[in-house]
Structure formats: structure tokens, C-alpha cells
Amino acid sequence: MEATYNPAAFEDKWYRFWLEKGYFHADEKKVLSGEKKKFSVVLPPPNVTGVLHVGHALNSTLQDIVCRWKRMKGYEVCWVPGTDHAGIATQWVVERELAKEGLTRHDVGREEFVKRVWKWKEQYGSRIINQLKKLGTSCDWERERFTMDEGFSKAVRRAFVTLYKEGLIYRGKRLINWCPRCHTALSDLEVEYEEKQGNLWYIRYPLADGSGYIVVATTRPETMLGDVAVAVNPNDERYKDYIGKKVVLPIVNREIPVIADEYVDPEFGTGAVKITPAHDFNDFEVGTRHNLPAIQVMDDWGRITVEPFKGMDRFEAREAIVSRLKEEGLLEKVEPHIHAVGHCYRCKTVVEPYLSDQWFVKTKPLAEKPIEAVKTGEIKFIPKQWENTFFDWMYNIRDWCISRQIWWGHRIPAWYCQDCGHVNVCEETPVKCEKCGSQNLKQDEDVLDTWFSSAMWPFGVFGWPEETDDLKAFYPTDLLVTGFDIIFFWVSRMMMMGYHFMKEKPFSDVYVHALVRDEKGQKMSKTKGNVIDPLEMVEKYGADTLRFTLAALAAQGRDIRLSEKIIEGYRHFANKVWNIARFVLNALEGVNLEGKKFYKPEDRWILTKLSETIETVDRELTAYRFNDAAKAIYQFLWNEFADWYIEFSKQRLYKGTEEEKRTAAYVLATVLRDALKVLHPIMPFLTEEIYQKLPNKDAESIVIAPWPCATCWNFPEDAKLVEVIKEIVRGIRNAKAELNIPPSTRVPVFVRVKEEALRGVLESMEESIKQLARVSKIEIVAEKPSNSVAFFLPEAEVYVQVADVIDVEKEIDRISKKLKSLEKDISKLEKKLSNENFLKKAPADVVEKAKSELTELKEVYDRFTETLKQLKELV
């Protein structure tokens, strides 16, 4: 092996090897024949316009860990990748390209524009897929899908037509989110809300009977032209006598009623609000309850359509209306007001609630089965708390607007008869009207919401609506890994479509991963300059290092705080594994591993620790506790194997008999091989590079190597006694450190044992203890020796003879000063932790750090106190 760990030298090589060997391709025949159990996953399809960000890296890493683990455990793993056509996002990208030529999509026409989008997709659409491969994702690339490919388009048309015929899809005039720039309806997810400094305008609405006026507060004066009522809360005593009366709408001079509705918050503004059903979602609901008309006063460009402001932009009209109200003495006051303003996620234009003819899905009937599935545990959310988010959304679900006024996407399969007006909804282009026989048909101009097609992802990728072998073998899928922000828009909709069309769940477990923030807990954004580019991190530190970092930080229910410094820190772990392997491979040179083995206590201890680690990682991955799995293998390799067992083995490797050398080498090789397997799901490249160099590898590749046995090695008594040996070594080191004795200075050590079994292990491991603790001798005694400081374990008393190597009086003085310093530090921390303000205001991790520091200081204080006491006894 090379002297230094250099991931760039082998990561691409091994990925090509895995692809050439077809390790990631699932064989449906093995599942259908019963030869193997299946484990199937669908990759949440990234936008075809996307480039890899740290959220993608986390999502795909966690899925890959599970898929690689399941593959090693003998499952036929089918992990289907693909990309989403991302209607609005992709159209926006291509429109920007057209703008460079001085053109719009309308200049080139629909057919030419769609051709250009496909050309762009062919040229750039695979970027994010190639970037995912750099991370080591073991997807079944032969099954890669695109939400606009031919087979998927057929699935989308079948779903639309079926739902339409069942009465679950309809066309109607309803309020939707509208982007006046992109000229399309938007889903709730495509609207980004930003806190903006605005105003609250207080406007007088005169009572029709001339008895006074009601003051109404609004953030959008331009919509008042479409007001149809003024609403107050029925329990608001201030307005009891006004309910049922009429007011005159300023400027327009139309009489509108005063109504009572519990939607009104008496604390907002004056407690009286204007109701404009055609331009506000809440007002639309109020209008529906009270059977009020909806008067539209804006067009789809955001321009006013009524006099005297006709043709004005909505924000220009706002100023003109406010000015007019001032002139007429109807503007009582203006207050600054911060409120959330919706913007188009793509072009950042302020979104307008807009009354429009659109296609909708009736979601209430489709939501029933998913709600029941989560209630009964048929589908599980991990962490469980996300069930509440799911239920909140599903119980209050509104009909879903699925039409978009753009050109890139699945065109709605509806044709309007130009002669009789009948709507022909069918999977293939009709030749004539099914009602009157006319051939004068025109297809709907709109396309479907991207989420409509992606809702079919778990069964569409397997060939539905055809009865394919893939569908029979791999549906339903087993796991979905996703972000919390699309529980509403994707997860719930996949459940609705899965149960409706497949009559069973689309997946069993939904693992909701955390948000990756910067080291200060802030959301990453380009404007803040705190974005971590995963590809840059892969280039600098290797894919394995980034993967291990993300896994180690992926604690359930807790956002990840990531920095390059943390990633760099885990690079040290990758280096450690590399150096462990170099030591073991060097130790194996020229050693014949065949033949009788003579196991010593430390061999049985490390093999037992290995078994415990395998069992722990297995358990933690089963529960999707990725951070705990990473922690377990990290501690085993670095602490148990490198820091202890390798050191224990050196005596036999360098000075032992042939049998002793063979046994130590065999244990080193066995532990390294199986530890690599346990580490492989998280760090696939590094483990493959090392595995291929082992003399005892048990498969062509670690990718398909069997998961190691967790019950093959179990020596609890030996393991317990070696743990005592470790405590003895640590205790000797601490005693020397506390007394300022250089680590290299060898001192005599005497041990009184309480169990005969420990005597045997001490004698067996004497040379290792002497080397690790740097002592001149270690002797088992019956009586307490003189001139010693002691520390006590439940199983033994350990005496370190120090009188000959230290100035006792000087040490007493030094430790006394040390204790005074520690007392000050402890007092300072105790004061801090008793401060209620600190406990309330400080971040949780800061408080925990302070508590941990206090515990550690107290432990050090207790040790030095005991040492001081013993030194005084020596005097």
C-alpha cells in the first residue's frame, strides 16, 4: 500500500469496476423465484436542472448506506435512480438561454421551444446523476428513469384519465397561486415566503345609512376594488350592532354587507377586515361560506382591469388608490407592518392569488387510506414526530391544482370539441369528438404539475401501467429517504396514488433526514457565503470522508451543523483506517495463516469486541440511527483495534514463537476484514481498496461480500478481564502524568488481585502491559508495598512505586496549587450553570458543553485530591 491515503488514486477506478461487474443491477427473476428477498428503494428524483448540493449528498449517502448494507446481508437490492423534468425550473433555464438571443418562447413557438428544452436536457440533464456517482451511490443505473420518458408519460396519462373518469379530477374556477412573470399557476411549494417591510393601511368604509363608518386595516389596498364584504368576529362586542348592515366601498361606491365570521382575528388591525374572494385564499373560503360573489380586478399580468385604474400594474395602482383615499378623507392612518410575502421560487416575482380555470384533483377521498396507513403503522415515519406534520396536512387537505400554464411537461390529455364544447379526456390523441363526432378538436394548452407525475414514481419506475416483472418483484418499495419540506407535496401524494392505483402502500418506512446548516446553525445560502460544495469536499478530502461525516452527524430529529473543519477532522479517521491496514498487511507478510491457533486473552477480547460492534451497527442501521452506527465502527477501529489490540499484538509479532506470530496475524487479518465489511456501507471506496489487498478476502469484491457474523466470537469472561488490564494501563499512565513523571520513565508496579482469573491474564499479558504503560516491572503481590501511590479498581489494587523518581515535597506543593486552580475553574462553571439566564438563553449545545466540562473538572479534582493524600502519607 502507498504510504499516504490518497482517495483520488482509486475512487473512480473502483466505481468503474463495480459498474463493469454489474453489482448494482438487481435481478427480478431471483426475487420472483423466491431465491432472494428483495429490498427496493426509489431515489427521490432530483431536478434535471440541478447540481449536487449538500442536501442531495446527505440524502443519497443515507440511502446508499442502507442499500450497501442490505446487499451484503443477501438481499436483492433494487435502488432505482432518475431525474424529474422540473417543469417551471427547466422552462425558466431555457427561456434565459433564449433571452440571450433576444427571443421569447412565444417568438419561437411551442413546438420549437419544446425541441430546445429536450436538446438542453440531452446536453446538461445528466450532470447531477454523474455527480451522484462521484459520491459512490450504488443505484441500479440500468433502470434509470426520467419523468418525461415514454413509459412514464404513458403512466401519467393513464392516471389522469382514470382519475377523471372516476370523478376525482375536474376542471373549475378556483383561487390558485399565480406568477405574473412565468404566467403559470404554482404549487404551494413553489411559493417562497419572505418577511418584508410593508404597511398596514387603515381605510374608512362609510355605512350606507350615513351613521358613521367602519375602519378596515389591509396590507393590499389595490385589491379593495374587488371587495364584496367587510367581516368581523361574531364575538367581538365592538361590532355586534354592525353585523347585517351595509357599507359603501370607497372609490367604487358599491354597497357591500358587514358579515360575521370566526376567521377574523379581533387583535389584527381594527378587528374588521375586507373580504376579496378573488384575490385572497382565506377570503375565498369566507366567500364560499357566505355565498358571496368573487369579483376579479386583475388580469394574469398583474394589471388592474377596472376603472379608474384600468391598465395599471398592481403596485402602481396601490399608490394611486392610497392617494385617492387621502384626497377623499378616507385614509385614517398608515402603520409600518412586517408580513410574509409569497414569491415565485424561480423568478422571484411576487405571487398573486388568482381566480382561474384550472384542473384539480379531489384529494379528500384519496387522503383517507394514507391517513389510516400511518395511524396503524403500516407506513412508519422516522423520526415519529413527522407523523404530526403529515396528519396536520392530510386532515386539512385542499383540492390540488394540477394544471400549469407552461410548455414543458406532460400536456393535459384533454381535447375540447370546437363544435359542441365537449371535453374529450383520453390516453391517446382522439380522431373525433366522442359526443358529436366532430374532428374539430383542440388539446388543452396546459401541462400537468410536476408533482403529479412524481407522485407515481414508486410504481411508474417499474413499468406501470403494464404488469411488468419489475413491478411484481419490487413494488411496494421498502424505504423512502426524503427531506421534511416535501412531506406534503411528494410523500403524501405518492401515498395517495400508490394506494389508489396499486391498492397497497408505496413504501414501508419514510426516513425524514435533517436539514444541513452551517457550523453556527444558520441555513446555507449563496448570499451568506456559507454554502459547502460537496463536490469540492470530495475533491479535497475524498468521497468516503464526506460520507462518513454526514453519517456521523445524522442524528434523528436534529439538524446537522456542518463545516469544512469537521469534514477535515473525519479525514483523520480515513487516514487512521489506511494506516491500520498498512500495519496489518505488513504484519501478514511471510506468515502462513493456516495451522493451529493459540488464542490469548487479548485475542478473544478483540474478537468479542468485533462481534459486539457488528451487532451494534446492525441494530443501529435497522433503526436508521446512522450516527450511532458510524460512532460504533469509529470507536472500534480507532480505540479498540488500533490503540489497544495492535499494540497488544506487537510483542508476539516481533518476539513471539511461530505459533504466537501466526495467531496474532490471523486475528489481525480476521478483524480487519470483518471491520472493513462493517465500515463498507459508509466508506465504500476505502474499504474496497484495502479489501482487495487482503490475503483472506472471501468474495470478488467487498460490495458482494457477506455481512460478517455477529455471534461467531463470544468470550465474555476474557473480554471482561482484558478490560481490567486496559484500566490498569490507563491508571498507571494517569498516575505518572499527575506526578509529572515523563511517559518514558519506567517505574515498578505492584498489583493485588481479588480474582485468580485476573492473575492468569496479568501474567499472560505482562510484556504488553510493561510496554504500553512504560513500567520496569509488574509484580503480583499479597501486601501493600511502600513508597507507592495507588489507585483502586473493583478487581484489583494497583501500586505505582514513585518515591525514587520524584521529589515528594515538590509534588505536594505543585498538586496543592493545581487543586486551587481547579477549585476556581469549578466554582466559575458552577456559578455559570446556576444562572437561570444562561440556561434559558444559551444554545443547548453550549449548556451541554459547560456541564460536560464541569463533570470532567470534578473528576480530575477528585483524582488529584486522592494523589495528594497519598503523597502526604509517603512523607
Average pLDDT over residues 138-149: 96
Binding site per annotation, positions for ATP: 526
In the prediction, which pLDDT does 863 show?
83
CATH numeric code, 7-158+455-513: 3.40.50.620
How far is it, in rounded angstroms, from Cα 632 to Cα 622? 14
Sign of CA dihedral 677, 680, 681, 682: positive
Would you give the DSSP letter of residue 207?
B
pLDDT bracket for residue 473 (50, 70, 90): very high
Domain boundaries, the chain: 7-158+455-513, 184-353, 562-714, 726-874
Burial letters for 483-503: b for 16+ Cβ neighbours within 10 Å, e otherwise? bbebbbbbbbbbbbbbbbbbe
DSSP H or E stretch at residue 186: strand 184-186
pLDDT for residue 414: 97
Residue type, 666: Y
Rounded Cα distance, 208 and 645, in Å: 92
Q: Of 526 and 543, which is predicted with more confidence?
A: 543
Average pLDDT of the chain is: 93
pLDDT at 708 over 80: yes
pLDDT at residue number 807: 78
Do 184-353 and 562-714 come out as alike in CATH topology? Answer: no
How far, in Å, CA of 619 to CA of 39, rounded?
A: 17
Confidence at residue 185, expressed as pLDDT on a 0 to 100 scale: 83
* 75 alpha-carbon distance from chain centroid: 25
Compute the C-alpha angle 666/670/676, nearest 5°.
145
Please state whether the peptide bond connecting residue 476 to the residue before it is cis, i.e. omega within 30 degrees of 0. Answer: yes
Question: Tens digit of pLDDT for each residue in 100-118?
Answer: 999 999 999 999 999 999 9
Confidence of residue 85 (pLDDT cuts 50, 70, 90): very high
Q: How many Cα atoms are found within 13 Å in the side-chain-facing hemisphere of 714?
A: 7
Asked if residue 600 has pLDDT above 90, the reply is yes
Whether pLDDT at 526 is above 80: no
- Give the pLDDT of residue 767: 93
pLDDT value, residue 843: 82
Distance CA 216, CA 232 (A): 10
The sign one gets for the Cα dihedral 351, 353, 357, 363 is positive
**β-bridge pairing 145-146 and 82-83:** parallel
Residue located via cell numbers 476484514: 673
Q: With 80 as the cut, is the pLDDT of residue 445 above it? A: yes
pLDDT at 810 over 90: no
Residue-level pLDDT at 729: 96
Percent of the chain residues past pLDDT 90, beyond the cut: 73
Question: What single string gives the DSSP state of each residue in 255-271?
Answer: EEEEEE-TTS-TTSTTS
pLDDT of residue 772: 95
Locate all alpha helices (DSSP H) within 462-542, ordered by sequence: 469-474, 492-497, 534-541
Q: What is the mean pLDDT of residues 251-280?
A: 91
CATH of domain 562-714: 1.10.730.10
Residue with cell 392617494: 323
Question: What gap in Å lies between CA 94 and CA 691, rounded to an integer?
Answer: 47
Q: 581 or 529, which is more confident?
A: 581
Segment (H or E) for 738: helix 716-738
For 207-210, the CB contacts below 8 A with 24+ separation are 207/242, 207/245, 207/246, 207/247, 207/248, 208/245, 208/246, 208/247, 208/248, 208/255, 209/245, 209/246
Cell triple for 7: 482517495
Q: How many CB atoms lie within 10 A of CB 852?
A: 10
What's at 331, amino acid-wise?
L
Cell of 589: 507478510
User: Which DSSP state fits 500?
Assistant: I
Would you list which residues are annotated within the binding site?
Answer: 526
Is-cis flag, bond preceding 308, omega within 30? yes
Work out the widest C-alpha separation in the chain, in whole angstroms: 115
Distance of CA 436 to the CA centre of its chain: 54
Judged by DSSP in three states, 386 sits in: helix
Question: Confidence band (pLDDT; 50, 70, 90) for 338?
Answer: confident
The pLDDT value given to residue 481: 97
Cell numbers 475553574 correspond to what residue? 825
- Check whether 523 has a pLDDT greater than 90: no
Residues 6+ apart with CB under 8 A from 629: 65, 551, 616, 617, 620, 621, 682
Is 212 buried (19+), middle (13-18) or exposed (0-12) by CB count in 10 A?
exposed
pLDDT band per the 50, 70, 90 thresholds, residue 524? confident
pLDDT tier at 640, thresholds 50, 70, 90 = very high
CB-facing half-sphere around the CA of 427: CA atoms within 13 A = 13
Those residues with Cβ within 8 angstroms of residue 742's Cβ, 6 or more apart along the chain or in another chain? 736
Residue 565 predicted with pLDDT over 90: yes
Q: How confident is the model at residue 873 (pLDDT cuts 50, 70, 90)?
A: confident
Residue 408: DSSP 8-state: S
At 78, list the grid cell. Answer: 433494487
Inform me whether the pLDDT recorded for 50 exceeds 80. Answer: yes
pTM of the model: 0.87
For 471, residues 6+ apart whose C-beta sits below 8 A from its C-beta are: 459, 462, 463, 464
Q: What Cα–Cα distance (Å) separates residue 590 from each residue in 3, 34, 599, 729, 851?
A: 20, 45, 20, 32, 52
CB burial of residue 275 (10 Å; 0-12, 13-18, 19+):
buried
Give the homologous superfamily in CATH for domain 184-353.
Valyl/Leucyl/Isoleucyl-tRNA synthetase, editing domain (3.90.740.10)
- pLDDT, one tens digit per residue, over 162-218 is 999 999 999 998 888 888 888 888 877 778 888 888 889 999 999 999 889 999 999
Q: What is the mean pLDDT of residues 759-767?
A: 94
Taking residues 483-504, report their average pLDDT: 93
What's the average model confidence in pLDDT over 787-813? 86
Query: Residue 193's pLDDT is what?
Result: 86
d(CA 132, CA 713) in angstroms, rounded, equals 38
Question: Does residue 142 carry a pLDDT above 90?
Answer: yes
